[in-house]
Amino acid sequence: ISLFAGDITQKGYEKKRLKLIREYIPHAGGMEGPMSHRAPLGPPSAARFHRRRTSGTRDERYRSDVHTEAVQAVLARHVERKMAVPMPSKRRSLVVQTSMDAYTPPDSSSGSEEEAGPGDDMSKNHSAPPDVTGYSSDSSHSHPERHHMSNMGTIARNTQKYGNAERMETGDGVPVSSRVSAKIQQLVNTLKQPRRPPLREFFVDDFDELLEVQQPDPNQPRPEGAEMMPVRGEALGVVTNWPPSLEAALQRWGTISPKAPCLTSLDTAGKPLYVLTYGKLWSRSIKLAYNILHKLGSKQEPMVRPGDRVALVFPNNDPVAFMVAFYGCLLAEVVPVPIEVPLSRKDAGSQQIGFLLGSCGVTVALTSDACHKGLPKSATGEIPQFKGWPKLLWFVTESKHLSKPPRDWFPHIKDANNDTAYIEYKTCKTGSVLGVTVTRIALLTHCQALTQSCSYTEAETVVNVLDFKKDVGLWNGILTSVMNMMHVISVPYSLMKVNPLSWIQKVCQYKAKVACVKSRDMHWALVAHKDQKDINLSSLRMLLVADGSNPWSISSCDAFLNVFQTKGLRADVICPCASSPEALTVAIRRPVEDSSQPPGRGVLSMQGLTYGVVRVDTEERLSVLTVQDVGTAGVCGETEALPQLCQTDEIGELCVCSIATGTSYYGLTGMTKNTFEVYPVTSGGGLISDYAFVRTGLLGFIGPGGLVFITGKMDGLIMVSGRRHNADDIVATALAVEPMKFVYRGRIAVFSVTVLRDERIVVVAEQRPDSTEEDSFQWMSRVLQAIDSIHGVGVFCLALVPANTLPKTPLGGIHLSEIKQLYLEGGLHPCNVLMCPTPVSPTCPSRGRNSQFKKRAQNTPEHVLYTLLSSRGAVSSSLTCLQLHKRAERVAALLMERGGLQEGDHVALVYPPGIDLIAAFYGSLYAGCVPITVRPPHPQNISTTLPTVKMIVEVSHSACVMTTAVICKLLRSKEAMATVDIRNWPPVLDTDDLPKRKPPALYKPTNPDGLAYLDFSVSTTGMLAGVQVSSGSQSLPDAGAASSHLRRVCVCLQMTHNAVGAFCRSVKLQCELYPSREVAICLDPYCGLGFVLWCLCSVYSGHQSILIPPVELESNPALWLLAVSQLRVRDTFCSYSVMELCTKGLGLQTEALKARGLDLSRVRACVVVAEERPRMSLTYSFSKLFKDLGLHPRSVSTAFGCRVNLAICLQGTSGPDPTTVYVDMRALRHDRVRLVEKGSPHSLPLMESGKVS
């Protein structure tokens, strides 16, 4: 029976039913049969996914020729290795993912088995991540539903008893007293059905140690520099003619120089559409300010008062209307909130924008006439209320729609103060939209700082390609430009898509001094410049790169300089800057006259960056990141990491202490305190300043000379097993595999999801429309290799979607948070998916077995790890975590005291299959010794089996032999002495008499590449050889004359601690082993996968291993199958010899076994462990023979391994059915594979052994 966490068991139901009606029933009712299965999941509620707008171009922020060459070199290296690890294969899921809505809420009952139908099979076959697997019926969960039911039962017992109640029966037909009320009867009927827990409880872990936090790598780089001191920015100079506020500056230029051009907008052909002069800006702003305050609402009840918030909704091709609206709000003393134009009622992120407007109390939206006409309309011609938005009054700001203000009305222009000037929206990593408030004094100070840093002067011409509604485009193109009476040429994005060179043409046409661009604009100008002549950029004194904080922008900057240096562009002109919505402009590289001094840059090791330290590397290395400085800290600023000061070679988040920053997240006091009111402290705990710092959200460090270097952003940070990875770096690597050939317009998203209590990387990309499935999976495989080689991290999910299907932002970029939400909801509808969970689960326990074992003994001392069965099927012995730990300690004390062994000595363990072998193995590890498991000599055949034992002891250079008293006596017998003289052996220790005291100290492995144990395998032919898995091949010394008279040869595998951890992790994930699982093992525990399953996996995964020695089947062939049936085991491992013994010994007893109650219907996986190709005839006979006993043929599968790799293939519990193919034996003789039809001459059937584990 498959029970899930939260399902009420039959025993639980009987207890609750009896508890409720015990005082009404004179005699308790009988017990029912087994409980039926859980009801199936409801039909999936497929989320509708609307195709978004098809506008937008490839995002070139991550283009780097150097990085592309590095990625290609990594992939070429994989090809040279001939793919030691096979390419990931595609698994098509046959199960439709079920949405959250399909689950029954916790206050309702699920159906019974009769209602389930095929739904149960669906839930069983679902290929789910390991941590969502259902637990067995004896799971020790404590769920809220159960407490809820218990409370309901208490209430029911205290309810009134109705004397006239008729005699009734419970839901199962048991007669009850007539005193039972109808409500109690209804409750009993409800408890009859197993309850379904809420979805989140399917993911609640039963044991805390299941997902332990990985211990830090002792070899990881650590910061070594001194503690940083705050870096003071350039002091703000005193200028006598600076205006007291930005409105005063507008008034000055509007009255003194009314004819001076302020802003020129362009049409899609690149021609001037409208030239806004300072006089027009001043007069139109006054007119709008008057109408906002006096023409909205009534005179007694105006809709907008000074201090209220209003939305500014203007398209990106209409900067003139936006500028008038923005300054009109400043003059009216209302707070503008610029947002994007909603194009439909279900735009990506539109609901979060509506939430921001609602929290700001916005009731009026200012827009242009053209934008108002383009908004979605209802059938009546009215603008509908967008999803999540408050009800708005749309107000058109064109002069023809406005009333002229009276002659005596004039706006009150005050000096800059701490009132809010405007609110800039910011989209967080989670998708929520926050409003960053900027005060009027901060606005003015920021404009003054930019004026000084960029050396802005009056009447300068600026070409602005950036979004003028926010960030650098707003600060330089709308605000600072007015303060300095500059002329801004605004290049719309629609023109850039048609003509990428348009901004360079405008620089040449207007002799512009400054240009504000992004690295993508520089890249596309490079692509298109070949067709353009007469380019002269000598007038440029500053090329402001807004995304200069992105490390990958350096490639575009270098390439742009190399091409256009012959066109008059100077090296000192390129000025990258770093900014954030919270801290505004953090740092900016100043244009300098002396261009002989090169800008600062550094080549950093990506491995060091993942540990948060700065390590300089060389460009010849593949896994490096080249960063450029973004200048020195902004004016009046102090930059540092928080909350504790970093060391000089440590990566941290930059913080700024300045007037010219944002002040809060509007309406969010808690988040404001964590971001805008931060007080960094020294290592001694003292404050570095009495003033609050603002977190910038930028990661980086301060280099020599106070230069700021940015390595990434907090929003793009992904923490995988304690290591930091930046989403932008992953994007750059993925695009560098085949940048232009496969990913459609570079539209790729990288984010993280939480799996196993840690972050996992998900990559989603749009593939080109003409891509084939073969191209897709080849590209995905290469991306996985590149990311693994360069970044040292695996990808959890790589999904490809059709072109133009990912959600877009209004400017054409991808909407990251919306994509993540669609991924979590199952609404992406990818056309190709590659799931690779095995290599990306480093949080699974992987350090030495000692530390893992001791933690289990401390955390779950009473949890049973091993149960040994006797030949009659009874439990002969069992071991809990604590018992095994204590026995291992005593074995370690025996080795140290009586054996006198030291760290690294080899110990031969000569034990029969059982628990003593396991205790001796871990005792050897506790003592720092290297154990070797050896099959004991057979009492009836000592003369042929004892020499093999002696050969392994000699070849392994064992310092001592540990065994039981019975085998010790056997080794000293006359027959044994006649075969091998035991006096020439190393000391033999009897572990039946262990010391009672603990060893003084337990060994802790310090080197992960140190030996954990030796794995010896004995064959009857061949030569003596050895294989070392850690660093190549290594032959063991020849046994010499000791084994020259024997035909037996032993082969040794040296297993390091790293190899053991990786091996156990692979088996755990492939077989979905968890503490609540029970696994039956009927294997010899002396070598290969049999030893790993017998001794190692239970300690690693925490599941209970039911040990069945194969030798016991000689006297009782049905022992294994009866144990599997009686203990209701779902997973079991056996060998071909065990399967053959059961097939031959039980072939005529199936009816008798069926009469004894043998039922194998619960078996989910019966895995045959071997180092040979699958014996199809034997597995087919076994499946056919026991099919009548409930064994499903598809549950029987095989594992395949060899001496070098003990488990190359292992069939997973949730994988597809094993596949059988027929090959031509004649072709196999020539090392060729030729598939033929079944029944063809010379055909040989081959069965799949599972996927690579």
Chain center to CA of 774: 26
User: Around Cβ 653, how many Cβ atoms within 10 Å?
Assistant: 19
- Select from 1176, 1168, 1245 the least CA-distant residue to 1210: 1168
Is residue 245 included in any domain, yes or no? no
Domain-terminating residue out of 817, 843, 869: 843
Q: Give me the pLDDT at residue 675, please.
A: 92
Task: Give the residue from 860, 909, 857, 913 showing the smallest Cα distance to 887.
Answer: 857
Question: Which helix (H) or strand (E) is 937 found in, with range?
Answer: none
In a domain, 672, yes or no: yes
Residues 72 and 152 placed together within one structural domain of the fold: no
Residues 707 and 817 in one domain: yes
Q: Are 78 and 128 part of one and the same domain?
A: no
Rounded to whole angstroms, the Cα distance separating 532 from 525 reads: 10
For the chain, the maximum distance between any two Cα atoms, rounded to a whole number of angstroms, is 127
Q: Residue 442: which of 248, 673, 664 has the closest Cα?
A: 664
Q: Is residue 123 part of a domain?
A: yes
Same domain flag for 80 and 166: no
Neighbour-count burial of 76, counting CB atoms closer than 10 A to its CB (0-12 exposed, 13-18 middle, 19+ buried) = exposed
pLDDT of residue 839: 52
Per-residue pLDDT at 1174: 77
Helix axes 10-21, 182-192, angle to 10 degrees: 170
Query: Do 72 and 151 share a domain, yes or no?
Result: no
Q: Which residues pair with 1027 in a beta bridge?
A: 1053
CATH of the domain at 704: 3.30.300.30
Distance of CA 622 to the CA centre of its chain: 24
Report which residue type is found at 444.
L
The predicted pLDDT at position 745 comes to 83
Burial class (CB in 10 A: 0-12, 13-18, 19+), 140: exposed
Instruction: Give the integer Cα–Cα distance in Å for 814 and 812.
Output: 7
What is the C-alpha separation between 878 and 278, in angstroms, rounded?
89
Give me the residues of the chain with pLDDT under 70, please: 1-12, 22-66, 74, 76-180, 192-217, 345-348, 531, 592-598, 619-622, 629, 631-642, 739-740, 837-856, 1018-1053, 1203-1204, 1211-1218, 1247-1253
Q: What is the 3-state secondary structure (H, E, C) of 672-714?
A: HHHHHCECCECCCCCECCCCCEEEEEEEEEECHHHEEEEEEEH
Residue 1025 lies in a domain: no
**pLDDT value, residue 548:** 82
* 126 and 176 housed in the same domain: yes
Residue 78 in 3-state DSSP? helix
Q: Give the span between the Cα atoms of 889 and 88, in whole angstroms.
A: 43
Spatial separation of the C-alpha atoms in residues 88 and 832, rounded to whole Å: 13
Distance CA 10, CA 113 (A): 14
What pLDDT shows up at residue 135?
A: 34
What is the domain count for the chain? 2
Whole-angstrom distance, CA of residue 452 vs CA of residue 747 = 38
> Which pLDDT tens digit goes with each residue over 712-725?
899 889 988 888 99
Please give the residue range of the domain that contains residue 151. 10-35+107-196
Last residue of a domain, one of 196, 223, 245: 196
Please provide the size of the chain in residues. Answer: 1253
Instruction: Name the residue among 837, 832, 781, 841 with its Cα closest to residue 91.
Output: 832
Q: Which residues pair with 1209 in a beta bridge?
A: 1200, 1252
DSSP secondary-structure letter at 169? Answer: B
Domain end among 196, 223, 250: 196
Beta pairing partners, 1223? 1235, 1244
HSE-CB for 175 with a 13 A CA cutoff: 6
Please, what is the end-to-end C-alpha distance for the chain in angstroms?
Answer: 28
Identify the sign of the CA torsion 1053, 1058, 1063, 1064: positive
Residue labelled with tokens 């039922």: 1159
Q: Helix, strand, coil % (nearest 5) of the chain?
A: 35, 20, 45
The predicted pLDDT at position 799 comes to 92
- 81 and 150 housed in the same domain: no
Query: Considering only CA atoms, which of 1242, 1224, 1244 is closest in space to residue 1234?
Result: 1224
Token duo for residue 1234 = 């030729």
Eight-class DSSP state of 477: I
Q: Which of 1210, 1200, 1174 is nearest to 838 (CA)?
A: 1210
Closest CA to 1036 of 951, 952, 955: 955
Q: Whole-angstrom Cα distance, residue 99 to residue 824? A: 9
The DSSP bridge partners found for residue 1201 are none
Residue 119 lies in a domain: yes
Q: Is 963 helix (H, G, I), strand (E, B) or coil?
A: strand
Distance CA 858, CA 47 (A): 46
- Alpha carbon 896 to its chain's center: 45
Query: What kind and span of H or E run contains 108?
Result: none
Residue 139 contacts by C-beta under 8 Å, 6 or more apart in sequence?
3, 5, 206, 1076
Instruction: Please indicate, yes or no, if residue 428 is contained in any of the structural domains.
Output: no
Q: What is the DSSP letter of 564?
A: H
Same domain, 68 and 156: no
pLDDT, tens digit, 9 for 90 and up, residues 41-97: 333 333 333 433 333 444 555 566 667 777 777 676 665 554 443 333 333 333 333
Query: Is 407 domain-assigned?
Result: no
Nearest by Cα to 823 from 744, 729, 752: 752
Please check whether residues 87 and 127 belong to one and the same domain: no
Same domain, 68 and 163: no
pLDDT at 973: 87
Measured from the Cβ of residue 11, the count of other Cβ atoms closer than 10 Å reads 12
Q: Are 627 and 549 in contact (CB under 8 A)?
A: no
Q: Is the peptide bond before 913 cis (omega within 30 degrees of 0)?
A: no
Please indicate, yes or no, whether residues 28 and 67 belong to a single structural domain of this protein. Answer: no
Q: Indicate whether 16 and 84 sit together in one domain.
A: no
pLDDT value at residue 281:
96
Q: Which helix (H) or strand (E) holds 835?
A: strand 832-835
HEC states along 846-901? CCCHHHHHHHHHHHCCCCEEEEEECCCCCEEEEEEHHHHHHHHHHHHHHHHHCCCC
- Strand order from edge to edge, sheet including 1011-1019: 988-990, 958-963, 906-910, 930-934, 1011-1019, 1049-1056, 1025-1028
Residue 1032 falls inside a structural domain: no
